[in-house]
Amino acid sequence: MTVEVGKKAPEFTLPNQSGNQVSLADFKGKHIVLYFYPKDMTPGCTTEACDFRDQYESFAELDAVIIGVSPDPIDRHQKFIDKHDLPFLLLADEDHKVAEDYGVWKLKKNFGKEYYGIERSTFIIDKDGNLQQEFRKVKVKGHVEEALTYIRENL
């Protein structure tokens, strides 16, 4: 399956930080900011999550929900939420199937080592479940504002 702007976003069901099953379809009728990030508690991912937290009300005013996805287990997600007071769902994609469906599970290189992991990416999904915008190879600085501006101006 491939993701394509203008087409239906790939459906999925994953456990959230509390162990409850969450599906993309649960949010039909709302805009969805689905962001994939590499790892809880790391500097870039913490900055990104806190930026989303700080703009949470602005997204809510636009009828948009924020959902974070990483391969971390649910207990690590809960610690991340507790430590940084995150008001949105974090979903555990431990087998990285959803990341693969969205094309963000990539071969990465770091300090001469190759490994597979999440390529930081955000997908804006409209109220009907269609992918409206994708941000790939995201740089954390300024990204949340960029996503917010896109929703404000286009949806």
Mean pLDDT, the chain cut into blocks of 10 residues (155 residues total):
89 97 96 98 97 98 98 98 98 97 94 94 97 97 97 94
pLDDT at 32: 98
User: Which tokens sit at 2?
Assistant: 């491939």
Q: Which of 45, 69, 89, 151 is catalytic?
A: 45
Burial of 85 (0-12, 13-18, 19+ CB in 10 A): exposed
Tell me, what's the pLDDT at 34?
98
H-helix or E-strand containing 148?
A: helix 143-154
d(CA 144, CA 28): 22
Active site residue 50: no
CA triplet 121, 59, 65: central angle to 5 degrees? 65
Compute how many other C-beta atoms are within 10 angstroms of the C-beta atom of residue 153: 7
Answer yes or no: pTM beyond 0.85: yes
- 8 A C-beta contact, residue 109 and residue 86: no
Structure-token pair, residue 155: 């949806």
- pLDDT at position 11 is 96
Strand pairing category for 31-36 and 64-70: parallel
pLDDT of residue 2: 72
Angle at 121 between CA 115 and CA 123, to 5 degrees: 145
pLDDT digit string, tens, across residues 112-151: 999 999 999 999 999 999 999 999 999 999 999 999 999 9
